[in-house]
Amino acid sequence: MRLEGKVAIVTGGGSGIGRETCLRFAAEGAKIVVADLGIASAEETVALVKAAGGEAVAVKVDVSKAADAKLMVDTAEETYGKLDILFNNAGISHSQDDDAVTTEEDVWDLTFDVNVKGVFLGCKYGIPALRRNGGGTIINTASFVAILGAATPQLAYTSSKGAVLSMSKELAAIHARENIRVNALCPGPLRTELLMKYLDTEEKRQRRLVHVPMGRFGEAKEIANAVLFLASDEASFVTGATFLVDGGITCAYTTPLGEPK
């Protein structure tokens, strides 16, 4: 097993990428702290992990609150004795997020509180725990839009993911010699609730897919496989990476091949 004996925190573990990662980690031998604002969803993930023979505990966490970030780290150490892996995955995309003129200040602030401050606080309390364990790994969920921008205006979300990407690079440089690896995971368009609530017609979905060379949306399970690699010892020389798992959308925009047919 690739994560035998490891202890992981997964924020946003109640659904989507977070839930699939919890299941994937547990199948590879890790013990999981499932952190989510929706405790019922977190407990559902725990039940799925346990049904598959794994170990997990749920904790209600608002990642934008320092006390909650500390709680999830304390839970890992008090329940399982240490922390090896921190997956700062929780994030939001606000329905009123638009361009600079239209987006309201409260939408901007909420998006940054969750998507950026949440990663900062996870690292603020998680890094000391990793140090106490002699090292470990952090994976922060950014996005392909941190590289390209978004064709449909979502300025707060795109800006927040750019911040996560740059934060991850600096953290990687700072902590590399402490045996702490930090990488930014950049998923492409996925068939998850977060995206599908916007792409709610076939016309909207096809408008997005025309830019994806593989011609389909990614699945949360596929992203979980990438997180597993970054969390495992197989990625022992990988830090500060912009880890794109995007069906080729960035290469389609950054090469002279033109728009995929």
Confidence of residue 206 (pLDDT cuts 50, 70, 90): low
**Does any domain span residue 81?**
yes
pLDDT greater at residue 31 or residue 199: 31
**CATH classification of the domain holding 92:** 3.40.50.720
User: Residue 201: what pLDDT?
Assistant: 66
* Portion of the chain with pLDDT greater than 90, in percent: 77
User: Residue 197: what pLDDT?
Assistant: 62
DSSP 88: E
**Does any domain span residue 207?**
no
Mean pLDDT of 153-182: 97
Q: How many domains does the chain have?
A: 1
Flag the least confident range among 157-166, 223-232, 252-261: 252-261
Confidence of residue 261 (pLDDT cuts 50, 70, 90): very low
**Does any domain span residue 209?**
no
- pTM score, two decimals? 0.92
**Does any domain span residue 203?**
no
User: Residue 164: what pLDDT?
Assistant: 98
Indicate the Cα dihedral angle 110, 115, 120, 122, nearest 10°: 110
**Does any domain span residue 89?**
yes
Confidence of residue 64 (pLDDT cuts 50, 70, 90): very high
Mean pLDDT of 195-205: 62
Mean pLDDT of 186-197: 73
Tokens representing 26 are 């547990």
**Does any domain span residue 69?**
yes
Is residue 253 part of the annotated active site? The answer reads no
Mean pLDDT of 62-90: 98
* Portion of the chain with pLDDT greater than 70, in percent: 89
User: Residue 252: what pLDDT?
Assistant: 77
**Does any domain span residue 73?**
yes
Q: By residue range, what is the domain housing residue 157?
A: 7-192+220-248
**Does any domain span residue 15?**
yes
User: Residue 259: what pLDDT?
Assistant: 46
The three-point CA angle 197-200-201 to 5° equals 170
**Given 80, 157, 198, 253, the catalytic residue:** 157
Using alpha carbons, select from 120, 242, 126, 118 the residue that is nearest to residue 180.
126
